[in-house]
Amino acid sequence: MEATPQRRWLIAAVGILALAPFSFARGADLTKDQERLRASHAVLDEAIHVPEGIPHDLLDKARCVIVIPSVVKAAFVVGADYGRGAMVCRTGEDGQGPWGAPAMYALEGGSFGFQIGAQATDYVLLVMNDRGMNSLLHSKVALGGDLSVAAGPVGRDLTADTDAFMRAEILSYSRTRGVFAGVSLTGATLHPDGRANHELYGRTNTAEIVRGSEVTTPDGGHDLVALLQETSPHRS
């Protein structure tokens, strides 16, 4: 017997309702740390593709990339910045392999100056050499103290000599209210986020995460790693 229009509508409605929980579940399955990985991808995607973004030749030289999305500067507080994000490093000898799994990191503010009114800032840091990477893998580091840091140059098609910038172990960038620029993070500290790494990987050894070929990138982090692999597959 042919279904009436009302019956067809009812069948379709029941089908949609039956599938809805699965659709909502897929969106809700990501943990807070996995959502942070997804946010890191969105920040880096813009930083790479906007005209006044990270120069591609510098990205090609980088050993690791750190993304800290939505760092909040508290109102009327000096040095109250705190954010969590991820570090992705090139694997293989001398960093000539593909990008590895992202390890979770925390940024704590230092001398960022007096802030009036709360605002969220995204940070992207390029780790330019092995010393910078190895220091970050094993301990808490002070930027400008333990590791040299400089505000990175912007411009996707930058052709100026970058040797001056290459003397820094870390080049840092920020995005606030849609404006992307190099920024000094002298006085800030970076350290592995042990809790988040344990939640995502069941381990806290950061070196095992970023270098281990047996480590699987968690949900939320695939786009971040794929973006780096597509944009800068080889280290120059």
Distance (Å, whole) CA 198 – CA 195: 5
Per-residue tens of pLDDT for the chain, all 236 residues? 445 544 443 444 334 334 444 333 334 477 999 999 999 999 999 999 988 889 998 999 999 999 999 876 554 444 446 789 999 999 988 888 999 999 999 998 754 443 444 567 899 999 999 999 999 998 899 999 999 999 888 875 554 455 556 688 999 998 887 787 888 888 899 999 999 999 999 999 999 999 877 899 999 999 999 999 999 999 98
- Contact call for residues 108 and 188 (beta carbons, < 8 A): yes
C-alpha dihedral, 132 to 134 to 140 to 141, nearest 10°: -20
- Helix (H), strand (E) at residue 82: strand 82-89
β-strand partners of 134: none
What is residue 116's predicted lDDT score, i.e. its pLDDT?
A: 43
- pTM score, two decimals? 0.81
Place of tokens 């006085």: 187
Of 65, 59, 63, 69, which is closest to residue 37 (Cα–Cα)?
A: 69
Q: Can you state the angle between helices 194-201 and 32-49, rounded to 10 degrees? A: 100
Token pair recorded at residue 36:
């942070």
What is residue 187's predicted lDDT score, i.e. its pLDDT?
A: 87
What is residue 166's predicted lDDT score, i.e. its pLDDT?
A: 66
Residue ranges per domain, the chain? Answer: 1-30, 31-231
**Strand pairing class (170-176; 149-151):** parallel
What is residue 204's predicted lDDT score, i.e. its pLDDT?
A: 92
What is residue 4's predicted lDDT score, i.e. its pLDDT?
A: 53
Place of tokens 């910078």: 132
